[in-house]
Amino acid sequence: MPIVSMRQLLDEAAKGAYGVGAFNVNNMEQIQAIMLAANETKSPVIMQASRGARAFAQDRYLYHLMLAANELNPGIPMAFHQDHGNSFETCKSAIELGFTSVMMDGSLREDGKTPSTFEENVEVTRRVVEFAHPRGITVEGEIGVLGGVEDGHGAGGTGLEHVTDPDQAVEFAERTGVDALAIAIGTSHGAYKFTRKPDGSVLKMNILIEIHKRLPHTHLVMHGSSSVPKDLQAIVNKYGGKLKETWGVPIEEIQLGIRNGVRKINVDTDNRLAITGAIRKVLWESPEKFDPRDYMKPAREAMAKVVAERMREFGQAGHAGDYAPIPIAEMAKGYQSGALDTRPSLAGAR
């Protein structure tokens, strides 16, 4: 099966009322872990690479590793996505590399931490859409700003300083024509999201629900959606790690989001914790070992277990074989004809 556009994966998810996890990759073992989980659960796949991942692995290595995953798993629909593109050039280079989807995170300036103005965000995101859609490529935008700075994307703080304004979300969708929209409802990237279990008063699910009602054709995206499970924290700390007590996003809140228009859920930290815990365990229990395979294999298995769990929880499990891929050139025609237009003023009229 060719690599598919993320838009097709998300349109199918909307039809089936489920969410699709978007998992970050930086190396071969993480890519393999996702494919192990996808095969086990029969799930469609979104693999995403940050700018940091592209720099770490180098574009060509990363792209060819993803292609290998696709070649070896012809029955699994897969999209390759640029996570947190910080500029038009980053998105353009991802498209030229062969990614089928890009996130233009115009909520922040190029430095990845200074909130931009609404007009700056509209401008840069629209420019990316104008470049991407004629090529059949999906675009995710972001309105409102996530908290935290841990991994270099976020404005700091708790995540509640720049919660998305629904009026702005509607105007943003109308003026940019993005396929998917990341919104800020109080999550942040990394392990340190909340100092207690977040309940309905912490995460702004009411805002998410309102945005979905007003933008029913735009797929919503939840970033910073790791659950930071206690058992994974405990493994890391048991074997010499020093994580401070912390809480992530409860799965029930993500599932509430999925019932209200969330189609893409970004998860990286949980996989990082799983990998690190597994590696620490081997090196702690068997300090004489020095063959990287002795710890990379359990690390890969630990990540696959987390990914498979999320695939089941998000509802994408069992949906890999539901549909035939739409060629990217056909997606381009769909944008050109207006059939794929999500802008509220036009999509409603279709």
Hey, which residues are catalytic here? 83
Options 189, 263, 281, 310; binder of ligand 13P; rule CB under 6 A: 189
151 makes contact with ligand G3H (CB under 6 A): yes
Among positions 58-117, residues that touch ligand G3H (CB under 6 A) are 83-84
Options 7, 223, 280, 310; binder of ligand 13P; rule CB under 6 A: 223
73 versus 90: smaller Cβ distance to ligand G3H: 90
Alpha-carbon gap, residue 97 to 59, rounded angstroms: 7
152 makes contact with ligand G3H (CB under 6 A): yes
Site string for ligand G3H, 182-201 (x = CB under 6 A): -------x------------
Options 5, 8, 24, 188; binder of ligand G3H; rule CB under 6 A: 24
268 makes contact with ligand G3H (CB under 6 A): yes
86 makes contact with ligand 13P (CB under 6 A): no
Options 267, 296, 317, 340; binder of ligand 13P; rule CB under 6 A: 267
264 makes contact with ligand G3H (CB under 6 A): no
- Nearest-approach distance from CB 153 to ligand 13P, in angstroms: 7
219 binds, among ligand 13P, Zn ion, ligand G3H, none (CB under 5 to 8 A by kind): none
Instruction: Give the range of 50-58, 201-209, 322-330, 337-345 binding ligand G3H by CB under 6 A.
Output: 50-58
53 binds, among ligand 13P, Zn ion, ligand G3H, none (CB under 5 to 8 A by kind): ligand G3H
Q: Mind spelling out the 3-state secondary structure of the chain?
A: CCCCCHHHHHHHHHHHCCCEEEEECCCHHHHHHHHHHHHHHCCCEEEEECHHHHHHHCHHHHHHHHHHHHHHCCCCCEEEEEEEECCHHHHHHHHHHCCCEEEECCCECCCCCCECCHHHHHHHHHHHHHHHHHHCCEEEEEECCCECCCCCCCCCCCCCCCCCCHHHHHHHHHHHCCCEEEECCCCECCCCCECCCCCCCCCCHHHHHHHHHHCCCCEEEECCCCCCCHHHHHHHHHCCCCCCCCECCCHHHHHHHHCCCEEEEEECHHHHHHHHHHHHHHHHHCCCCCCHHHHHHHHHHHHHHHHHHHHHHHCCCCCCCCCCCCCHHHHHHHHHHCCCCCCHHHHCCC
153 versus 212: smaller Cβ distance to ligand G3H: 153
- Nearest-approach distance from CB 272 to ligand G3H, in angstroms: 8
Angle, helices 59-72 vs 28-41, to 10°: value is 20
Residues touching ligand G3H, count (CB under 6 A):
11
Alpha-carbon gap, residue 212 to 226, rounded angstroms: 22
310 makes contact with ligand G3H (CB under 6 A): no
Residues at the site binding Zn ion, with contacts judged by CB under 5 A:
223, 266
Site string for ligand 13P, 224-263 (x = CB under 6 A): xxx-------------------------------------
152 binds, among ligand G3H, Zn ion, ligand 13P, none (CB under 5 to 8 A by kind): ligand G3H
Long-range contacts of 58-67 (CB under 8 A, 24+ apart): 59/93, 59/97, 62/25, 62/26, 63/97, 63/98, 65/25, 65/27, 65/28, 65/31, 66/3, 66/25, 66/31, 67/3, 67/98
Alpha-carbon gap, residue 108 to 297, rounded angstroms: 37
156 makes contact with ligand G3H (CB under 6 A): no
98 versus 152: smaller Cβ distance to ligand G3H: 152
Contact residues for ligand G3H, defined by CB under 6 A: 24, 50, 52-53, 83-84, 151-153, 189, 268
Contact residues for ligand 13P, defined by CB under 6 A: 24, 83-84, 189-190, 223-226, 266-269
